Amino acid sequence: MAEASQAQWEPKIIGFLCNWCSYAGADLCGVSRYQYPTNVRAVRVMCSTRISPHLVLDILKAGADGVLLGGCHIGDCHYISGNYYTEKRVRLMKRLLEESGVEPERLRLEWVSASEGEKFSKIVTDFTEQVRKLGPSKVKKDEKLRSRVAAADDASETFRLKALVGRELNLVNKGNVYNNKLDPAELDRIIDSATEEEFERSLILELSMSKPRSVKELGEIMEVPTDKVLRHIVALRQKNMIAMEHPEGFTPTYKTIVIGGEQ
């Protein structure tokens, strides 16, 4: 298929809408005949809490121009607390998008109740415009960007980030095993630095998948100081995720260990 020219390009936006509020709000929008642009393709899920960062990042990696997440207003989630987690996960997704270089504005989370039909049409109109201004997704054409998004996706699936985000609400509300309640801002800082670290490690694994790379090379591609890259590599080697390969002369290279031939 020929490349669509910039002029006829239409944003492709995927919407994930929860069954009980935002999907119902979109239904009411239809019943009330509020008009909006045709760019959003909605996928129905039972609750916005179903949307793991992986789903969103994988779709952006596949070239979607924007992703719209719809949930019930805080306090109204049909599953009581689902959308609290959605909010936390979206924060993580945006942080990871920032790391990857994809504009975080391509992702939007909105609360729409079953009675907010008109609001739904306004959101879609507004978000479509926003994505239009950002232009077509560059992920497909830009290989470097693509590997960074892949790394963001991998990072979102790491035990550390998933456990942190999953436990975040409990850590803040109920306290950790020592009964210390964590300050939410402090926890956000912990998650942010973990996010950066996991992203960089995932990116090293991503880049060293197809061919072995040296620390210097990785540092240049990633635009990260080499001492930091080296620290990541030490950690990754401890976890048996990366292997040193044929040290040529004095510069060793590293290659990702692929388990069970995955990926």
Partner 1 sequence: MIHMAETKVNESEKPRIGVFVCSCGSNIGGFVDVPSVADYAKTLPDVVYATQNMYTCAEDGLSNIREAIRKHNLNRVIVASCTPRTHAPLFQATCESAGLNKYLFTFVNIREHCSWVHMKEKDLATKKSKDLIRMGVARARLLKPQEEAKVEVEPVGLVIGGGVSGMTAAASLADMGFPVHLVEREGDLGGFVKILNNLYVTEKSAAETIKPLIEKVTAHKNITLHLNSSVKSVEGFIGNYEVGIAPKGGEEKKYKVGTIVVATGALEFVPEGLYGYNQYPNVVTLTEFEILCRKKTLPKLKSVAFIQCVGSRGQKMSYCSRICCNVAIKNAINIADNYEDMLGVMEKQGTLVDKIPVEKKATEEILERRRRRRGRGTEGEGDAEEVKLGPSEKIEVTVFNRDVMAYGVEHELTYNKAREKRVKFNRYTLDHLPKVFMEDNQLKVTYFHETLKLERTMPVDMVVLSTPLVAQPDAGDLSKMLKVPLGQEGFFLEAHVKLRPVDFATDGIYVAGTCKGPADITEAVTQGAAAASRAATPMAKGYVQAEALSSVVDETKCTGCGTCIEVCPYGALRKNEKGIAEVIVAACKGCGCCGATCPEGAITMTNYTDAQLLAEAKAALQEEV
- Chain positions contacting partner 1, by CB under 8 A: 1, 12, 14, 16, 19-20, 23-24, 26-31, 33-36, 38, 41-47, 49-52, 54-55, 58-59, 62-64, 75-76, 78-82, 85, 89, 121, 157-160, 162-163, 165-167, 169-170
The span from the CA of 242 to the CA of 136, in Å, is 35
| CB-nearer residue toward partner 1: 89 or 213 | 89
Tokens of 47: 């609750």
110: left (phi over 0), alpha (psi -120 to 50) or beta: beta
Q: Is 83 or 202 the residue whose CB approaches ligand FES more closely?
A: 83
Residue of 35, 4, 11 lying closest to 108 (CA atoms)? 11
CB-based contact 106:97 (threshold 8 Å): yes
Closest C-alpha to 198, from 248, 164, 166, 240? 164
Among 13, 18, 29, 171, binds ligand FES (CB under 6 A): 18
Alpha-carbon gap, residue 152 to 123, rounded angstroms: 27
Tokens of 240: 């048996």
Identified binder of ligand FES from the candidate list 39, 83, 156, 256, rule CB under 6 A: 83
Residue 45 CB, nearest approach to ligand FES (Å): 9
229 interface partner picked from ligand FES, partner 1, none, CB below 5 to 8 A per type = none
CA gap 220, 19 in Å, rounded: 46
Q: Does 208 bind ligand FES (CB under 6 A)?
A: no
Quick one: what does residue 55 bind among ligand FES, partner 1, none, with the CB cut-off 5 to 8 Å set by partner type?
partner 1
CB of 247 to partner 1, least distance (A): 34
Name the token pair of 91: 């924060």
Contact 51, 45 (CB under 8 A): yes
The site partner of 71 among ligand FES, partner 1, none (C-beta below 5 to 8 Å per kind) is ligand FES
The reply to whether 79 sits near ligand FES by the rule CB under 6 A is yes
> Among the candidate windows 17-25, 56-64, 141-149, 244-252, which touches ligand FES by CB under 6 A?
17-25
> Smaller CB distance to ligand FES: residue 119 or 232?
119
CA 106 to mean position of chain CA atoms: 11
**Contact partner at residue 98 from ligand FES, partner 1, none, CB < 5 to 8 Å by partner kind:** none
Q: How many CB atoms lie within 10 A of CB 177?
A: 6
Answer yes or no whether residue 195 interacts with ligand FES by CB under 6 A: no
Closest CA to 111 of 11, 13, 23: 23
